[in-house]
Amino acid sequence: MDLSIPRVMGIVNLTPDSFFTDSRKKNDNQLLKEVEKMIVDGADFIDIGGYSTRPNAESVSEEEEIQRVLEPIQKIRKTFPTIPISLDTFRGKVAEIGFNEGVDLINDISGFQYDPTMLSVLEKIRLPYVLMHVNEAEQNMHKTVQNELLFREMIHYFSEKIRQLNDRGLTDILIDPGFGFSKTMEQNYALVQQLDLFQLLERPILVGFSRKSMIYKKLNCTPEEALNGTSILNTRAIIKGASILRVHDVKAAKEVLALTI
């Protein structure tokens, strides 16, 4: 896919406890209708995940995650054979099963830190990979630390992990600054302002602001009321060089692109 033109990734949650109520797990008919609407609205990717990473979410077993994503991947691939599917997982086995079912991209919130098998699986399946910045321990993924050198440390983090992936022969790598993960409110907004500087890594940038707490807490509203704030941050991200907007609301994101690029 040509990422010289910004793209939109539609979020399909296969979890019962997503922080955004409207995106929670649905039956098969609702799932396919949701995907169809995203495609009609202009989604370039569908991103599906079966493990909630919201703060204080319950951990689920590998088997449960597989059970949540396997049949939906099969149904989406059968019903919409041409839409690229991104699989949101940090587990190597889940990524490999997704590959076998035809997913096109692995979107890993852990930077291959939470499952020791992920890196070898990536080397085997050789799918494009979204590398996100987050704390190295799963239980600390939302732990925040005041750090005036965060941007410099993130550049080191991305550079080192890109090198490890390159050493395995993996070159189709996107970076995600990990908004809402391991960062204070102030750090999140500082990184929005610095987003264009990540282009020195010469990798496409994916951003995921959609209805997150960095928006609704700052605006003193709910996730359901955070669409306008999401669009504003997506606009800022596109102006600063982002290549993919990961969103719950595809139509609004496409409008951002239409009025920004």
212 given a catalytic annotation: yes
Q: Give me the catalytic one of 7, 91, 203, 246.
A: 246
**Which residues lie closer than 8 Å to 120 by C-beta, 6 or more apart?**
92
C-alpha to C-alpha distance for 43 and 2, rounded to whole angstroms: 14
C-alpha to C-alpha distance for 31 and 79, rounded to whole angstroms: 11
How many C-beta neighbours within 10 Å does residue 113 have? 19
C-alpha to C-alpha distance for 19 and 99, rounded to whole angstroms: 27
Q: Give me the catalytic one of 183, 211, 212, 236.
A: 212
78 given a catalytic annotation: no
Report which secondary-structure segment, H or E, holds 176: strand 173-176
C-alpha to C-alpha distance for 7 and 244, rounded to whole angstroms: 5
Active site residues: 212, 246
